[in-house]
Amino acid sequence: MNIESVGLKDCYLIKPNIFNDERGYFFESFNNKTLNEELGMDLNFVQDNRSYSKYGVLRGLHFQKGNHSQAKLVNVLSGRVQDVVVDIRPDSETFGKHISVELNSDNKTQLFIPRGCAHGFLVLSEFAEFYYKVDNYYNPMSESGIIYNDPDLDINWQIEKKDLVINNKDLDLPLFKNVIK
């Protein structure tokens, strides 16, 4: 496994060692001991989630507040997505910054997102199946988010606005400056 920093504190791309032959491929997609050793953390993932979305679907930017905050290990089982992470930790040297990476089923790359970050993704292919692990159980009372087109964040989404498919709940999310006070 190869781990590389992506410019946000404690946020990493994780590239697996893939073994290809005439039968197909094999790789270890998750090993808690190895991940903890490589990241220097003590993670314990407790829940797995999957979503299936069509082209143009934008989910996010979401996060869980307080004691229900979640670290995530995300990847794409089929298709391609633009994955965006925003650092919302006021004490972080990368507070208010965001990264945007493409995750796809071809390269099998995963993204580790630490607690205290907002997260969202945009489907770039005809469809995408998105899979992620979280280290804390979902709590609906701690659910929060930031509007995808926040002018202070100035995220460059890779699809024209007219082609985005966003649910009403995500369209009603507040601005970054109103979430982080």
Identify whether 62 is a catalytic site residue.
yes
119 is catalytic: no
- Among residues 77, 83, 90, the alpha carbon closest in space to that of 128 is found at 77
As a whole number of angstroms, the distance between CA 7 and CA 152 comes to 18
Sequence-distant (≥ 6) Cβ neighbours of residue 5 within 8 angstroms: 11, 12
Catalytic residue among 12, 119, 132, 148: 132
Q: Shortest CA distance to 146 belongs to which of 171, 114, 121? A: 171
DSSP 1-69: -EEEE-SSTT-EEEE---EEETTEEE-----HHHHHHHHT------EEEEEEEETTBEEEEEEE-GGG-
AA identity, residue 41: M
Name the amino acid, one letter, at 131: Y
Looking at 62, 98, 119, 148, which residue is catalytic? 62
Annotated active-site positions, please?
A: 62, 132
